[in-house]
Structure 1
Amino acid sequence: MPDRIEQAKRALRADLRERRQTISAHAREVAEAGVAEQLDALVARLGARSISCFLSTPTEPGTHAFVRAALDRGIRVLLPITREDGLLDWSVATADTEITEGLFGLPEPVGDVLGPIAVNDVDLLIIPAAAVDRQGMRLGWGRGYFDKTLGSMEKCPPVYAVIFDTELIDDVPRDVHDQPVTGVVTPTRTLPLAAHTS
């Protein structure tokens, strides 16, 4: 049974990855501006003063403009750093944070490293996803970092996944360790989902 779920996930990820490759540079710029606007409004609505946010890769909906704007407004932003053991360390973003290539070629901050539990203090988690379904189940990229993080948090704040509009789908293949999200942020809207009401 798990094999069938894993195969379905792999096939869906491959399709989504391919679709992301075809998005034009102009469409990406428009998407990054839209995501920044949606996330700004979400942070304001939740009154979040401390958040975590991933640094987007070139094919993901952009988060860099949002992170810069959040720092300008005095919001504390934790950026994830992947570890060999499958956990995430965190670093506090600054206006001049240097970005390097981490494990798996992902953009990650260079700076003082805080351990995995640092994220327990945030008011909002903003995480990547390949797709999310209407029940709030998230399909990640298969490495399990954010599922482990969410599953280990004692008191999890709202969790929003950033995706393109077409990546909110009816159903994602689901395994026992997969963690739901509170909602999604796309370039055009912010949508709380059924799994949570935050």
Structure 2
Amino acid sequence: MALARRYRHGIGASQNIKHVLRQQIVQARRAMSCAEREKQNDALTAHVLTATSGLSTIAAYLPVGSEPGSVEMLDALVTRGVQVLLPVARNDETGTPTALAWGQYRPGELVDAPFGLREPGPPVSGPATLAEAELVLIPALAVDGRGNRLGRGAGFYDRSLGFVAASVALIAPLYVGEILDKIPAGPHDVPVTHALTADGLVTLG
């Protein structure tokens, strides 16, 4: 795809590459038609329901703007009897992102939160709660074949994923075309194990 070709040609230091890729992917997502977005999200929901069959607790996220996924996906999981943990993002007193706290998703009970987000209301548990998850859905703008993930750059998830058991799948839901050739990765970046698009699950690494 065009994003991958531009990366291969090189556009500067890794942070500049990430910045440009973020801009390109966000613009492409915003340009996607509502019908196409709905079609791909419906397919993602079907794949997630298959992937979570037999599981009791997963961690997920509430999509913001044009991010892949939907509240309907979360509702479908709860209807299946799956406990869905959603992240609670906060900075410390110095303004530095901390590891994510977690709350249980209850349909119709989301509350307004910092950063313009929505999150589960109390009670909220600490970062170690993520160890209960049998599968983790992680927001991403793109991934590469090694599992390197392009996020928004705050680092909330990289600070949190150390609490996940080594055997648990870390899955990034994406739109078709968002698996790139290569994404720059730093020493603190935690790779994901799978990408999930409307075409199905892709093992990475």
CA distance in 2 between counterparts of 1:52 and 1:106 reads: 17
Displacement of 1:37: 0.5
Question: What's 1:35 paired with?
Answer: 44
In the alignment, what sits opposite 2:163?
153
Q: Superposed, which structure 2 residues align to 1:20-99 within 5 Å?
A: 20-44=29-53, 47-85=54-92, 86=97, 87-99=99-111
SS in 2 for 1:148: coil
In the TM superposition, residue 116 of structure 1 has moved relative to its aligned partner by 1.1
Matched, 1:170 2:181: yes
State how far apart, in whole Å, the 2-side matches of 1:59 and 1:105 are: 14
Q: TM-score, normalised by structure 2?
A: 0.86
**CA deviation string 1:59-105 (max 9, x = no partner):** 011231111011011111101010113221111112332242x3322
Task: Identify the residue that residue 108 of structure 1 maps to in structure 2.
Answer: 119
**Which residue pairs with 2:6 in the alignment?**
none
**Structure 1: segments with no counterpart, 5+ residues:** none
SS at match of 1:77: strand
Structure 1 residues 42 and 32, CA gap change in structure 2 (3 angstroms): same
Q: What residue identity is the alignment partner of 2:45?
A: A
Are residues 31 and 155 of structure 1, via their aligned partners in 2, closer, same or farther at CA, if it must alter by over 3 Å?
same
* Dislocated runs of 4+, deviation >6 Å: none
Note the alpha carbon deviations across 1:96-146, whole angstroms, 9 max, x for none: 32242x332233222311111111111010010010001111111100011
Give CA-to-partner distance per residue, 1:23-65, whole Å, 9 cap, x none. 1111121122111011111112xx3210000000120112311
More helix by share: 1
Please report how far the alpha carbon of residue 4 of structure 1 lies from its aligned counterpart in structure 2 after TM superposition: 1.5
Letter in 1 for 2:103: S
1:131 matched to which residue of 2?
A: 142
- TM-score, L = length of structure 1: 0.89
Structure 2 residues not aligned, in runs of 5+? 1-11
Deviation of the 1:187 alpha carbon = 2.1
Match of 1:4 in 2: 13
- Distance in structure 2 (CA, Å) of the matches to 1:164 and 1:106: 21
Count of aligned pairs between the two proteins = 188
Letter in 2 for 1:155: A
